[in-house]
Structure 1
C-alpha cells in the first residue's frame, strides 16, 4: 500500500504529511497565498482554466486553451454525465469549469477555493458573463465545506485533491454534499500504484515528490488505488477509475515554454518568489511523468439513492 494509505491506518507518517498535519494552518495559508500570487499570471497567459489539457495521441493540433476545454468535456463524457441541476466545483480556481458546465447543462453552480483573490476574480468574470444569477464562488475549505448535506447532483474536483492533507476527510465531504443518486468526479495527481511487496516508493521517487510538494504546497501523495478504497469506504457505487497520464503528457512542456516567453518571465518577476519557485519546479513534474511516478488520474462514482 502507498504511504498515504499507511498513514490512514496509523503506520509511520511520511515527512510531508507529518508537516501538513502539524502545521495545518500554515499549509492552508500557503496554498491560498500561492494562488493569490500566481493566478493573475496564469490567467493572462492560459486563460480561465487552471488545469491540464487533454492531448490524445494522434489527435489534431490544437491550442492549449482548447486542450483544457477538451479536458472538461472528455472527463464528463468518460464519467457518463449527461446533465446536472446543481453542481459544486471544489477547488474552483477562477471558475472556468463551473461556467463551462453551467452553460453546457443550464445548471446552477457553486465553487469554493482557499484563495480570496481567485474567488473574487471568479465572481467578477461570472458577473461580466451575465451568469451571476446562477453561478457564484466563495472562500471555503474542501475539508469542511460550507454546504448542506446532499445539496449537489454533480460534485466536481478538477486538480484540487493533491492539496488535501486528509484524503479520507476530502472524500467524506464530497460524499456528504452529494445528493442521493448524484455523481462525484475527482481529477487529480497521484503517485504510481505500489506493486505487491513494495513497502513504499523508492528513496529517489520520494525525494522528487518532496521537492514538488515544497514548491506547490502539497501534503503527501497517494495512489488511485487509495482513492478507490476511500470511495468504497463511503459506500459509493459504480466506481470507475482511469489513468490519463499519456493524454496530458505534453502539458508541462507547454507550460514551461510559456513560462520562458517574454511575457512569462516578466509576469514571474512581478508575481514574486512563490510563483518563481513553482516555475522552477515545473521540470520536476515533467520528469515525474516520464519516470511513471506522477500519474494523472480520474475516479468517479455515484452516491446510492
Structure 2
C-alpha cells in the first residue's frame, strides 16, 4: 500500500473538493472521474458516460433496485443510472459543495446525503447494488470501506469499484516521484494494488467475479484535463487565484505527474466486480 508522507483524513478530502469545486466543474464537468474510450472516437462527455454505463452493465442493474453510490460527487452518475436503469439511488459525499450542487438538481429517484461512507448510517442489507467510482482511494480505512459495503448490501448484492491502483511491485523511483506525491497532492490516504484490493474484498466476505485493467482506455483523461486547466488559467480569475493561493493548489500541478504515472505503468486503473453470497451461500 502506498501511503503519503503527510497523513490524510476525511476532513482533508472534504476540504480538497470544497475548495477546488469551481475548478473541478470547469475542468471535469459534472462527472468527477475518468472517461473510458471504448472505440477511441468518443468525445470527452461520451467517454465519461461510457464509464458510468460500463458500471451499470457490470452490476446488471434492474428497474426498482435499491442502489448506493459511494462517493457520489455531484450526483451525476446516480442520476444517469437512475434514469437509464430505473434504480433508486442513495449517494453519499464528503463535500458540502458537491451535496449542495446535487440538491439544486433534484431527481425523484436519487437521494444525495452529506456523509462519510465509513459512518454512513444505512441499514444492514438495505441495497442490492452499489458502486464506488474513484472514491475508495479517499477512504482512510479501506478494509472498513469494504466491510461497510458488505454490511449494507443484501445477500446476493453486487458491488463495482473503479479504482486508481498502484503498479504491483512498483520500483523505488516510481513510488518516490510518482505514486507517493500523487497520494499527497490528491488527498489520498493510501493507494493499493490490485492484489491488496482483492485481499481486502475477500476478507470482508465478497467473492471476486470480475476484474479488468482499463488503464490504456482511460489515460487520455489527463491530457484533456491538462489542456482544460491551461485554458482555465488563461481565462478564469478564480482558477488563477486557486492555483496561486489555494490550500489545494498543488493538485493542479500534479496533472503532468499523473500523465507520466500512466505512461510508465506506475499507476493502473482497475474495475472490480464483486458479489455478496446469497442466503444459500452461493455467490450473488
TM-score, normalising length: structure 2: 0.89
Contact 2:72 / 2:78 at 8 angstroms: preserved in 1? yes
User: Which whole-Å CA distance do the structure 2 matches of 1:264 and 1:232 have between them?
Assistant: 48
User: Which whole-Å CA distance do the structure 1 matches of 2:204 and 2:184 have between them?
Assistant: 30
Q: Which residue in 2 is equivalent to 1:223?
A: 193
Q: Does residue 295 of structure 1 match 2:268?
A: yes
SS of the aligned residue for 2:111 comes to strand
SS of the aligned residue for 1:143 comes to helix
Picking from 281, 287, 298, the partner of 2:254 is 281
Q: Which residue in 2 is equivalent to 1:120?
A: 100
- 1:160 CA drift (Å): 0.5
Query: Structure 1 residues 142, 235: closer, same or farther in 2, change over 3 A?
Result: same
Q: Does residue 173 of structure 1 match 2:153?
A: no
Q: Does residue 108 of structure 1 match 2:88?
A: yes
Residues 74-153 of structure 1 mapped to structure 2, 5 A cutoff = 74-77=54-57, 79-83=58-62, 85-125=65-105, 127=106, 131=107, 133-153=108-128
Q: Which residue in 1 is equivalent to 2:34?
A: 52
Moved over 6 A (4+): none
Query: Structure 1 residues 284, 110: closer, same or farther in 2, change over 3 A?
Result: same
Query: Structure 1 residues 264, 164: closer, same or farther in 2, change over 3 A?
Result: farther
Q: Which residue in 2 is equivalent to 1:39?
A: 21
- Deviation string for 1:52-73 (max 9, x for gaps)? 00113xx252321111001111
User: Which whole-Å CA distance do the structure 1 matches of 2:114 and 2:59 have between them?
Assistant: 29
Query: Structure 1 residues 206, 262: closer, same or farther in 2, change over 3 A?
Result: closer
User: Which whole-Å CA distance do the structure 2 matches of 1:262 and 1:167 have between them?
Assistant: 34
Aligned length: 273
Picking from 268, 276, 287, the partner of 2:239 is 268
Query: Structure 1 residues 241, 99: closer, same or farther in 2, change over 3 A?
Result: same
TM-score, normalising length: structure 1: 0.84
- 1:147 CA drift (Å): 0.6
- Deviation string for 1:260-290 (max 9, x for gaps)? 0146662422445244321100110111111
Q: Does residue 240 of structure 1 match 2:210?
A: yes
Query: Structure 1 residues 108, 253: closer, same or farther in 2, change over 3 A?
Result: same
Q: Which moved more, 1:80-89 or 1:157-166?
A: 80-89
